[in-house]
Amino acid sequence: MTKKRILIVDDEPDLVETIQVGLELEDYECIVAFDGFRGLDRARSENPDLIILDVMLPVLNGYKICRLLKFDEKYKHIPIIMLTAEAQEKDRQTGQETGADFYMIKPFSMDKLLAKVREYLGA
């Protein structure tokens, strides 16, 4: 059985490492990007099974990435979990409007994130 592949897009290397270690312990393969342009490029070239996406990113923000992917027939099937410090209701609404499947606020529980990943990947 092939491992499910998850793209993590966040500009905080320590946070990316924490998420990556947690996911790899659950037998997921991780792909990472530290800015929005690279994240969009990796999403399109790697076609991951799920994306964990920050909102506040250098070059291109997470809302734009989400919208570009969710409104493209080739990528709209990929679940996107927005993981962000943007905690206001208007931020959550913007996430929903751009097509995010789930909006999670930092700081977050790794157990809750893993539960959401399993839910979207059917594991």
Count the Cβ atoms, other than its own, within 10 Å of residue 42: 18
Q: Are 120 and 50 in contact (CB under 8 A)?
A: yes
pTM score of the predicted model: 0.96
Question: How many Cα atoms sit within 13 Å of 4 on the Cβ side?
Answer: 20
pLDDT in tens, 53-91: 999 999 999 999 999 999 999 999 999 999 988 788 898
pLDDT in tens, 92-103: 899 889 999 999
What pairs with residue 57 in β-bridges? none
Is CATH 3.40.50.1100 what the domain over 5-118 is classified as, yes or no?
no
| φ/ψ (deg, to 5) at 80 | -120, 120
